[in-house]
Amino acid sequence: MKSFLIGLLDWIYKKKCYFCAKSKESVKMCSTCYDELEFLPIKINRTIFETCVYCAGVYSKILQKMIRGLKYHRQKDLAYYLAKYMWEYWQKLDIEGDFQIVPVPIYFKRKKQRKYNHMELVAEEFAKFSGYSVNTKLIERIKDTKPQYKLNKTERLSNLKSCFSVNKQELIPNKKILIIDDICTTGSTFEEMITELHKYQIYDITCFAATTPFED
């Protein structure tokens, strides 16, 4: 009877894939759906003030659903899969050095509303793959901003102006900085964070986004 009840509970609470709704593997993202993810070519996507920006894939289909689910629908388990995807691309870049991962911060009121910063969750998972440290205290978002997707390049930069603050005393010595975000559209968020870091003579920076809406 006990084994029957355990089996029944396992069947009832078996996880379904968030993407295809199949429960064969009892995971949030099955291997079939994960294998459908595609990568961009292994190269620099753009440079901002001589800082290299890399993007792992194009913002479409499964990646779009993954990010939206993680960011807006409290599908926290998806952080693991997004980090895994980013890590697989990052390894191919063959970039040397020890990094401190700095996830793009969100305003404290927004974090309180959402209950978490999805990129902090991704950073924690990415750190498990890479062995890097996570540094969520180096850069703080001190101004609430409008959603970036509604704005053009000029409006994005104006919207983000002076919205980040650097706490230089929180810099981990002898570690490069790896800023990570989910989507890099115009690069405005990365640009503003780089600008603030440069004010404190912090230059050893790399930026890495999971996706971009553009292939080139």
Would you say 182 and 195 are in contact if contact means Cβ atoms under 8 Å apart?
A: no
- For every residue of 6-19, DSSP letters joined together read HHHHHHHT----TT
Best CA proximity match to 177, nearest among 104, 93, 98, 87: 98
Q: In this structure, are strands 139-141 and 164-166 parallel, antiparallel, or unpaired?
A: antiparallel
pTM above 0.85, yes or no: yes
- CATH 3.40.50 in the chain, residues? 37-212
Q: How far apart are CA 210 and CA 110, in angstroms?
A: 21
The CATH architecture that domain 37-212 belongs to is 3-Layer(aba) Sandwich (3.40)
DSSP H helices in 131-199: 153-160, 188-198
Question: What string of pLDDT tens digits covers the 216 residues of the chain?
Answer: 555 444 444 445 678 999 999 988 999 999 999 999 999 999 999 999 999 999 999 998 899 999 999 999 999 999 999 999 999 999 999 999 999 999 999 989 989 888 999 999 999 999 999 999 999 999 999 987 766 666 666 766 666 778 999 999 999 999 999 999 999 999 999 999 999 999 999 999 999 999 999 765
